[in-house]
Chain A
Amino acid sequence: MNTTILRLSAQALLGRRRGVVLVLIPAVLVVLAVVVSILTDDEIGYESVANLGFTLALPLVALLAATAVLGPEVDDGSIVYLLSKPVSRHVIARSKYAVAWAATMVLGALPLLVVGLVLDASEPRQALAWGLGAAVAGTAYTALFLGLAAVTRHAVVIGLLFVLIWEGVLGTAFAGVRWAAIGGWGREVAGEISPLVPVVGTGLTYAVVAAAFVSVGSLWFTGDRLRSFTLRGDE
């Protein structure tokens, strides 16, 4: 880990408009939870808000955070200022990941815990389950999206397609997709903590190993892509 890159990445994340959007997403989710808890007290309200947070807000936060720490610098080539230094590319990748991961935890996973408590304060274990499940999924999402940002300037679009089409539409229609859906792995972990969270049925071990594999693999891939970063002229 390199403290200078941590600092620069954090400034890049918070110093841009994206930082505002990043904070808005969990804020909207929490406000929604408060409104739902005031208007209704049945299970459907809880499940709807938690599901929305888990399947949409969490990956969106991870996507925005991961692409914010790397995407713009790769797009405009200014990452060359960081790369023209005797610092291991894997250290650069890990440092950028750490910042995006922290943002995903604070603005993606933690709000799910808060939402759970707001919706049903009598079931703190269920809230904790959503929070921890989100932490596991958020860890893998962030790494995957960071790898995407290192390889394409269309990372946001591809990431959105992955979340909405692959995990959303196809994940609902075809049961087999759950084996390759990060959200499903997070749910599996959450279901292990509280039986009130519905699981997808891949088993805890598979979910944890798959999430770890995607996280470590994507992170290594990001570092390797940075080693081969190519500076192209406008000519």
Chain B
Amino acid sequence: MSVLTLDTASRWYGNVVAVNGISMSVRPGVTGLLGPNGAGKTTLIALMAGFLAPSAGTVTLDGEPVWRHTDAYRTIGLVPERELSFGYLTGRQFVRANAELHGLVEPGASTERALATVEMVEPAERRIGTYSKGMRQRVKLASALVHDPAVLLLDEPFNGVDPRQRLHLMTLLRQMGVEGRTVLFSSHILEEVEQVARQIEVVVSGRHAASGDFGQIRRLMTDRPVQYVVVCDDDRGLAGALIAEPSVVAVSLRRGGGVEVSVSDFGSFAVRLPVVARGHGIRILELTPTDESLESVFAYLVGG
């Protein structure tokens, strides 16, 4: 049972702050590191994996700093986002080389076990250069699992992986969490994270925006006011009718036509809108969310 701890860890490059005063403990089980692209997820994983020195604060594994601590890799398995450039090796040769570098007593047996875990035994004799993205991802995972690590760090492991393989990878991660390993993976897709992780850490613009059970995070994200534009045949009529609805927080008229509606509870709004429109004899032509992007969700979280 290993615990990775970040204590007000920051990392900056010149004037650019990549990670800003983040404190978190990554414990046994699966933790999802969620954030939009450019949020600092890769920097955080590099800090946790000992491939980046914190500019301030500390990053420790079971109390020991990980930076310049080679022995930490007996405990850590790392699946970087970086592509494998060992295209001239077969999958089996690559995983076996990893087993040998770990100084395992039976590198051959460990290689086969790791390949079997990720269902890559059959194509293991082919060169990595001929693999699909999903296969390369699984070989990377096999190479990180070959020494049976207590801590597994994965940077965007589902990127470019087809749905079937994604499901398999998700099952594997969940299983490793159940086995008591400390598993942390990063993603910019909420649905992906909540399918695998109970614990979610959200980072936005290098800051720790939220932390907790996926249910809490999901509520935070879905309970925020959401903006919609409704195009209909009577803007003023609809605006007047909607402002009386408890699920509606604000209404305004757009210059070019249409009604902007700020909704606090989308579930009730979705049910009430057609009822209200029909009651007032108004015809709805279009309903468009204006800020459904993940970035806007994250921006809301950071804003509080």
Return the CB mask of A86-108 against B: 1 if under 8 Å, else 0.
Answer: 11110000000000000000000
Interface size class of B (residues with CB under 8 A): 35 or more
Q: How far is the CA of A81 from the CA of B43 in the complex (A)?
A: 17
Taking a contact as CB atoms under 8 Å apart, the answer to whether B88 and A230 are in contact is no
B193-205 CB mask vs A (1 if < 8 Å, else 0) is: 0000000000000
Q: Is the CB of B103 within 8 A of A227?
A: no
> How far, in angstroms, from A228 to B70 measured CA to CA in the complex?
11
Find out whether the CB atom of B42 lies under 8 angstroms from the CB atom of A235.
yes
Chain A residue numbers with a CB within 8 Å of B46 are 230-233
Query: Are B70 and A78 interface neighbours, CB within 8 A?
Result: no
Residues in B neighbouring A7, C-beta threshold 8 A: 97
Contact with B along A1-27 (1 / 0, CB 8 A): 011110110011001100000000000
- Surface stretch bound by A, among B48-56, B215-223, B231-239: B48-56
Decide if B74 touches A84 in the complex (CB within 8 Å): no
Residue A34 at the B interface, CB < 8 A?
no
Any B CB within 8 A of the CB of A179: no
**Contact count band on A:** 20 to 34
Q: Which residues of A contact B100 (CB under 8 A)?
A: 3-4
Contact residues of B with A, CB < 8 Å?
Answer: 37-43, 46, 49, 51-53, 68, 70-74, 76-78, 80-86, 88-89, 97-98, 100-103, 143-144, 155
20 A-B residue pairs with Cβ-Cβ distance under 8 Å, sorted by A, are A4-B100, A7-B97, A11-B88, A11-B89, A16-B88, A73-B85, A80-B78, A80-B80, A80-B82, A81-B80, A81-B143, A82-B101, A85-B98, A85-B101, A85-B102, A86-B73, A228-B53, A230-B46, A235-B37, A235-B38
* In the A-B complex, the 6 residue pairs with the closest CB atoms: A233-B42, A231-B51, A15-B88, A85-B101, A78-B85, A4-B100
Chain A residues with CB under 8 Å of chain B are 2-5, 7-8, 11-12, 15-16, 72-73, 76-78, 80-89, 227-235
